[in-house]
Amino acid sequence: MADVNQGSVLPGETSPPALDGLNATDSNGTDAVNATVAKFVATPEGTALAYGSLVFMALLPIFFGALRSVSCGKSKNSSDMPETITGRDAARFPIIASCTLFGLYLFFKIFSQEYINLLLSMYFFVLGILALSHTMSPFMNRIFPANIPIKQYQLLFTQGSGETKEEMVNYEFDTKDMICLVISTVVGVWYILKKHWIANNLFGLAFALNGVELLHLNNISTGCILLGGLFVYDVFWVFGTNVMVTVAKSFEAPIKLVFPQDLLEKGLGASQFAMLGLGDIVIPGNLKKNTRTYFHTSFLAYIFGLGLTIWVMHTFKHAQPALLYLVPACIGFPLVVALLKGELTEMFSQRVSPRIAPTETNIFLVRRGAGRMPYGQRDMV
């Protein structure tokens, strides 16, 4: 899982978490030409704005993803139901994430970084368009003018003929979905051409919201197994090896949220970013509870854990893996509440339903938690 980072400081370095000339990037994510550029030091106002914005953006997909998971849970269409992770899936999850991460490490060591990132950019271009379209669809349903006729479309691919004909793809959509797709494509082209941080965040928020909405844990024990395993994964790959650092420096994809610390000075053309990986949003955000009490507790625990991450990083001038603080908070707070209420046994024996109260909070997105991935050539570790 990507950590909160104020700049480009490698493990073991004692310099402040600011970008030096060797790692600095411009707004398009390209390397700075002059390696002797003075280190960037954010103002207190810029730092507070960047961190506050990251926390706010992180809470949006957790809350609204939970709201939308209600609709998924009530859907009669099985294809719209959230995908459920079992205890076995959760136990294998850190292993799969580790294999993915190490595989990317080997790829970047063997093959050209430029070509790999080109392929990944095109892949995330398509994936981002679909995710953003799905995210925009409910809002489009509310604002679409009633006097404009809505036409229905169907995309159907079959294999074989006669009695052996088999459906491969059967996707139904309408005019509103087409508009969402066009808008999302514009954002995708903007991201591909400019790698602008706003386009990055639009795709990142869409990925995170879909991850919280469509991913479902079958019980609390599964959530604890998942978070515990990824806690070990995160700490090991960050502090035990240079694999995460190498991949983070090389990988370009909109799977993190970023916010400029120099926004007040440079406006939308700002280039010095604080960032948070989507894995630190999607995975804790899926530890859903059946009651408002536990949801509120988990929600506050997430805010506390993320705030603690930022405080430790800012105090010790070293970037931190967010799950190091989020996992104990998101598991510990609800456990204490359950213990005080005498509901500890019931909490672990009860299945977690996607049909949660409205005020409570693809597998691929979470598995991308294997990547502590950068914006441009930035290192987030």
List, by residue number, the catalytic residues.
234, 280
CB atoms under 10 Å from CB of 27, counted, come to 19
Phi, psi of 39, rounded to the nearest 5 degrees: -65, 140
Alpha-carbon Rg for the chain, nearest whole angstrom, is 21
* Closest C-alpha to 212, from 282, 158, 266: 282
Instruction: Note whether 350 and 294 are within 8 A (CB).
Output: no
The CA-atom distances, in angstroms, between 303 and each of 25, 156, 327 are 29, 44, 12
Distances (CA, A) of 264 to 30, 47, 333: 22, 10, 36
**Token pair of 76 as six digits:** 């009669």
Name the amino acid, one letter, at 358. Answer: P
CA distances from 246 to 154, 254, 285, 312 (A): 44, 17, 27, 23
Output the six-digit token pair for 147. Answer: 């006097």
